A and B are shown apart, each in its own frame.
Chain A
Amino acid sequence: MPSFTAVVATGGRPGASDGQPALREGRIRNTGKSVPAAMEKHVTGSEPPTVADPIRQARGRDLTARPTSELAEFCSALTYDDIPPEVRDRVKGIILDTVASAIAGRRGDETGQIEALAGAIGGAPRATVLAGPRMSLAGAALLNGHQATAVALCDIHRPTQCHITPAVIPPALAIAEDRRLGGRAFLTAVTAGLEVVVRVGTGMRYPAMRARGWHSPGVIGPFGGAAAGASLMGLDPTRFRNALSLAGTQAAGTFAQWGTPTIRFHQSRAAYSGLLAALLAETGFKASPDVLTADHGGLFNLYSDGGDAEATVAGLGTEWTLRTISLRPWPAAAGIQTLITSLFALIDAHDLHPDAIETVEVGLSKTVHDMHGTQPWDTRPGALLSAPYVTGVVLHDRRCWFEQVAPERIASPDLDAFIRSRVSVAVDGAVAGPGAAVTVRMRDGRVFEDRRAHPRGDAADPLGRADIQEKFRMCSEGLIDPGAADAAIALIERLEELDDMARLAGLLGQPAK
């Protein structure tokens, strides 16, 4: 069975995005310079101490902590001015990245199927699907939620092993466009949504949650869409809390789906659930006073081991936990982004050519190896998850983009032979979490090595804004008019000046002719 070992990132480096080199040749690449030489120290998560009586423990907490209410009160009062400029900037980058990923998601293998579903549930068109048709609010949330995650480009929050943005930004886009709200409200709402998911996920204590079979995006994701929607609607603290509770009462999705596309449907459905929660709470519909820590049926007990109510709200308003969200430069599994970072670093430093390579040894943590180390690469979804394939194709093509997982590329006999004869992937006991260790032995006897703890785009090494903008343009190729893509980038970069989110949606909805 696949399993995760949670890795707790040591926190972001605010402002580290400055000074990142621009992408070269219009393709995301890595350079030796852009990869920090020093590795951040990572802490491998372990099972929290056994709780003798989790219900009693939660009862004890219940008397002192009401995290659902505290989150609701905070988010309900949150204004654009309350958000530090550097956090706003980070959120803008995340929005840009998510929109880019969702545009590229038009190319996803199952996008047509989710579009058929979104059409079949009906309703007059009211919101834009990125690079796609307009749909009902629910349809747009479902389809944009899917597209954001469809081609393995969206964010990853490593401590909770959660893709957060697909559940937060699509419902926020739908509501903001439908109600013609402005960019400040949108940015504030997305900030609230991201922050709430990270915090609920933190309180959920991922290792305990994972041990029970739960897959984060469908469990904690709905809270983010609900918070973003409730923020846009301006709900008072009570209704905001009801929105969060209505999200929590839709928390679902387990690892029984691993290996099937339904694992991604969790994100899509989470976006839809968050939308439902916000819309229903807006009517005044009442819900649990504390869905997280309620004595009977509180999520921290049911999905975890009692959770950590204090951690959920610790530093609320002063510590912005959304900074721990990582972005992905390359369309590949989150677990092998460090491997790709290492490969590009080695290529840049040593001008590696496949013909001159004798062997490549890839070391991964057991967790990542279990998921990606032996993954077959005979299909596109499989190739995106395959450490051996990605190693081979990056060394050959010096690129890692969609054409690297195109059917004809996957079927290349030379590449296949190189991977099977030269590339070996194994567990390296010294590698933790998402880290990687790559050793390349050249035919001339030279040996090059790169070991690192986290990839480019990680919270500890955030992508620069120029990188994200370039990712946006690459994702848009053939899907959005280039002029519209540039105009959309400009609007997102100056979101606070945008008076009507429908203007942004208008740029993003029309497929390129």
Chain B
Amino acid sequence: MTPNITERLAEFAATLPTGDLPHSAAMQARSLLLDSVACSLASDFGNETDAYARFAEAAGGAGDTTVIGSRAGLSPLGATLLNAYQITAATICDTYVPAHVHITPEIVPPALAIAERDGLDGASLLTAIAVGAEVAVRIADGINYAVAGPRGWHLPGIVGPVGAAAAVGRLTGLGPLEMRNAFGLAGSQSAGTWASWGTPTVKFHQSRGSASGLLAGLLAKTGFASSADIIGHADGGILVAYSDGGTPEKILDRLGTHWVFEDISLRVWPGGAPLQPALTAAFDLVTTHAPEPDAIGKVLIEVSQDVYDAHARFDRPQGTFEALLSFHIAVACALRDRRFWLTSVEPAALDDAGLRSFVAERVSMAVDPTFSRESGRVTVEMADGTRLASRVDGAKGTRRNPATLEDLRSKFMNCAAGRLSDADARDLLDIIAGIDGQSDLGRFFELLRRPVRRAA
């Protein structure tokens, strides 16, 4: 019998030899791990991270699994929930732009938990992250976000569990049939909608999705049976339940030879993923023209219609969470301060009268109907009437405009500042850069536990 779509994807996930990644895929997997750790170290900028830590401990319980940035461990479930939340907490994690989905929060934490529990090596961890991410983005492509998004589905909690299950399944040595069951068990937990937009529950989708993948992988390991084709089943398969049947051929297209997860973007700056093209344009403008902040008259930010609909409302953001979704704040900071970092959206910074008046008096937003989500234009009208404009059709950090290794190292050091000593931060950077050569991850996990709380 011809294997179905889920079986073929599961077989790929289960049988790819460890370490058998092309150079570019291995590079991307290392970048995703590095960026995940970086984002976690900055998670204290998220308003709800401390509350979430209390929740993770209550639900999952104490244990020995590493929580990034904490000396105290949690249970595998608790650590997975919390690490996933930490990666997404400060709104600086990865995005797979075509499906508007964050991938690393779901995939990396359960992979870390199992690698640590079972004393596995770096090559296994890296391959699991690559395979998990690849499974997630391929299903996201199959779902076809252009259909699922407008209906109301938010994909991290839908494709994330399956990718996470793939990562866990690899690390626990699932065979193809068990892997198919793991996918089924993950898909039975696929959930999360845009009803949560504007609340931190959108980040819960990532965290819960990560834990769902952990449950699925662990339960499949016991031999628990599940749907034979969770992706393509006509009665409640992922492609019909969360879309219109989707584009199944995309899921298997050049599987094993073309790595779609290399298209996952990393953010050089904080802020919602849709803000990144405009931020890129603003910083391009600063680099090229260095407009004097005091001489800036008007600032116009142009975006696609759907981005405008989702974000224009945050012109007067209340708190850090909303500020990270605010084009007005992000672009104003880029132009006025020539810097946009998490410190820019702390309450004191947001209360700055100069910033407030700059935003209120000079910054506006509009729609360019020809734009996609990946485009943005920033036009500055100087007091002397000069107009400076920059258009971007691929934000910094995307495949079209990749972040350099130096960009990512610089982001990592920014995130680690105040939490790790410079020496420890560089040590951790070096370990991650060569993670696939690490036969023992003990030092890696020890460094993940070492950060201190940032001084207030």
Q: Which residues of A contact B (CB under 8 A)?
A: 1, 110, 112-114, 116-117, 120-124, 126, 136-139, 142, 212-215, 218, 245-246, 248-258, 260-262, 265-266, 269, 272-273, 275-276, 279-280, 282-288, 290-291, 294, 296-299, 301-302
Query: Which 5 pairs of residues, A with B, have the shortest CB-CB distance?
Result: A123-B61, A254-B236, A213-B236, A122-B75, A297-B193
**Taking CB as reference atom, which chain B residue is nearest A272?**
B215
Cα distance A1–B218 in the bound complex, in angstroms: 29
**Taking CB as reference atom, which chain A residue is nearest B150?**
A296
Cα distance A124–B63 in the bound complex, in angstroms: 7
Which residues of chain B from 371 to 421 have a CB within 8 Å of any chain A CB? Answer: none
Contacts of B61 in A (CB 8 A): 122-124, 126, 136-139
Decide: A279 near B59, CB < 8 A? Known: A251-B191, A256-B237, A257-B227: yes
Contacts of B199 in A (CB 8 A): 286-288
Q: CB distance A283 to B55 under 8 Å?
A: yes
Q: CB distance A279 to B55 under 8 Å?
A: yes
Q: CB distance A285 to B48 under 8 Å?
A: yes
Decide: A298 near B236, CB < 8 A? Known: A124-B61, A275-B59: no
Whether, in the assembled complex, B233 has its beta carbon less than 8 Å from a beta carbon of chain A, the answer is yes
Q: CB distance A215 to B236 under 8 Å?
A: yes
Cα distance A280–B153 in the bound complex, in angstroms: 22
Whether, in the assembled complex, B204 has its beta carbon less than 8 Å from a beta carbon of chain A, the answer is yes
Q: CB distance B191 to A252 under 8 Å?
A: yes
> What are 8 A-to-B residue pairs whose CB atoms are below 8 Å?
A122-B63, A136-B77, A138-B61, A213-B236, A269-B215, A280-B204, A283-B48, A286-B201
Decide: A123 near B63, CB < 8 A? Known: A246-B201, A249-B192: yes
Cα distance A198–B219 in the bound complex, in angstroms: 29
Residue of A121, A213, A256, A287 with most chain B CB atoms under a 10 A cut-off: A256
**Taking CB as reference atom, which chain B residue is nearest A262?**
B226
Decide: A249 near B204, CB < 8 A? Known: A213-B241, A262-B227, A266-B188: yes
**Taking CB as reference atom, which chain A residue is nearest B228?**
A260
Which residues of chain B from 30 to 69 have a CB within 8 Å of any chain A CB? Answer: 48, 51-52, 54-55, 58-63, 65
Contacts of B51 in A (CB 8 A): 283-285
Whether, in the assembled complex, B252 has its beta carbon less than 8 Å from a beta carbon of chain A, the answer is no
How many Å from the CB of A79 to the closest CB on chain B? 25
Whether, in the assembled complex, B195 has its beta carbon less than 8 Å from a beta carbon of chain A, the answer is yes
**Taking CB as reference atom, which chain B residue is nearest A126?**
B61
Contact with A along B2-39 (1 / 0, CB 8 A): 00000000000000000000000000000000000000
**Taking CB as reference atom, which chain A residue is nearest B187?**
A256
Contact with A along B212-242 (1 / 0, CB 8 A): 0011001100111111111001111100110
Kindly identify which residue among B48, B60, B185, B204 contacts A262, using a CB–CB cutoff of 8 Å. B185
Contacts of A298 in B (CB 8 A): 152, 193, 195
Kindly identify which residue among A112, A136, A251 contacts B75, using a CB–CB cutoff of 8 Å. A136
**Taking CB as reference atom, which chain A residue is nearest B75?**
A122
Residue of A142, A215, A290, A297 with most chain B CB atoms under a 10 A cut-off: A297
How many Å from the CB of A304 to the closest CB on chain B? 12
**Taking CB as reference atom, which chain B residue is nearest A288?**
B195
**Taking CB as reference atom, which chain A residue is nearest B193?**
A297
How many Å from the CB of A161 to the closest CB on chain B? 14
Cα distance A126–B78 in the bound complex, in angstroms: 14
Contacts of A250 in B (CB 8 A): 157, 189, 191-192, 208
Q: CB distance A248 to B195 under 8 Å?
A: yes
Whether, in the assembled complex, B151 has its beta carbon less than 8 Å from a beta carbon of chain A, the answer is yes
**Taking CB as reference atom, which chain B residue is nearest A261?**
B225
Contacts of A301 in B (CB 8 A): 151-152
Q: CB distance A283 to B52 under 8 Å?
A: yes
**Taking CB as reference atom, which chain A residue is nearest B225?**
A260
Contact with A along B65-85 (1 / 0, CB 8 A): 100000000111110000000
Cα distance A255–B240 in the bound complex, in angstroms: 12
Contacts of A116 in B (CB 8 A): 218, 222
Cα distance A302–B185 in the bound complex, in angstroms: 21
Cα distance A123–B225 in the bound complex, in angstroms: 25
Cα distance A213–B214 in the bound complex, in angstroms: 25
Contacts of B59 in A (CB 8 A): 136-138, 275-276, 279-280
Contacts of B205 in A (CB 8 A): 249
Q: CB distance A297 to B235 under 8 Å?
A: no
Q: CB distance A253 to B195 under 8 Å?
A: no
Cα distance A201–B201 in the bound complex, in angstroms: 23
Cα distance A138–B78 in the bound complex, in angstroms: 10
Whether, in the assembled complex, B293 has its beta carbon less than 8 Å from a beta carbon of chain A, the answer is no
Contact with A along B105-134 (1 / 0, CB 8 A): 000000000000000000000000000000
- Give 11 new A-B contacts, CB below 8 A, not counting A256-B241, A269-B215: A120-B218, A122-B63, A122-B74, A122-B75, A136-B77, A245-B201, A250-B191, A261-B225, A280-B59, A287-B204, A302-B193
Which residues of chain B from 74 to 98 have a CB within 8 Å of any chain A CB? Answer: 74-78
Cα distance A287–B193 in the bound complex, in angstroms: 11
Decide: A123 near B62, CB < 8 A? Known: A283-B54, A296-B197: yes
**Taking CB as reference atom, which chain A residue is nearest B192?**
A249
Q: CB distance B77 to A257 under 8 Å?
A: no
Q: CB distance B219 to A285 under 8 Å?
A: no
Q: CB distance A121 to B225 under 8 Å?
A: no
How many Å from the CB of B307 to the closest CB on chain A? 15
Contacts of A279 in B (CB 8 A): 55, 58-59
How many Å from the CB of B131 to the closest CB on chain A? 21
Q: CB distance A117 to B184 under 8 Å?
A: no
Kindly identify which residue among B201, B208, B224, B241 contacts A254, using a CB–CB cutoff of 8 Å. B241
Residue of A110, A258, A260 with most chain B CB atoms under a 10 A cut-off: A260
Whether, in the assembled complex, B439 has its beta carbon less than 8 Å from a beta carbon of chain A, the answer is no
How many Å from the CB of B22 to the closest CB on chain A? 33
Cα distance A288–B154 in the bound complex, in angstroms: 13
Whether, in the assembled complex, B317 has its beta carbon less than 8 Å from a beta carbon of chain A, the answer is no
Contacts of A249 in B (CB 8 A): 157, 191-193, 195-196, 201, 204-205, 208
Q: CB distance B196 to A288 under 8 Å?
A: yes
Q: CB distance A113 to B236 under 8 Å?
A: no
Whether, in the assembled complex, B265 has its beta carbon less than 8 Å from a beta carbon of chain A, the answer is no
**Taking CB as reference atom, which chain A residue is nearest B6?**
A256
Contacts of B230 in A (CB 8 A): 256-257
Whether, in the assembled complex, B341 has its beta carbon less than 8 Å from a beta carbon of chain A, the answer is no
Kindly identify which residue among A114, A123, A296 contacts B219, using a CB–CB cutoff of 8 Å. A114
Contacts of A294 in B (CB 8 A): 152, 193-195
Q: CB distance B237 to A254 under 8 Å?
A: yes
Contacts of A296 in B (CB 8 A): 152, 193-195, 197
Whether, in the assembled complex, B200 has its beta carbon less than 8 Å from a beta carbon of chain A, the answer is yes
**Taking CB as reference atom, which chain A residue is nearest B81?**
A276
Q: CB distance A261 to B75 under 8 Å?
A: no
Cα distance A297–B151 in the bound complex, in angstroms: 7
Whether, in the assembled complex, B190 has its beta carbon less than 8 Å from a beta carbon of chain A, the answer is yes
**Taking CB as reference atom, which chain B residue is nearest A258?**
B235
Q: CB distance B63 to A218 under 8 Å?
A: no
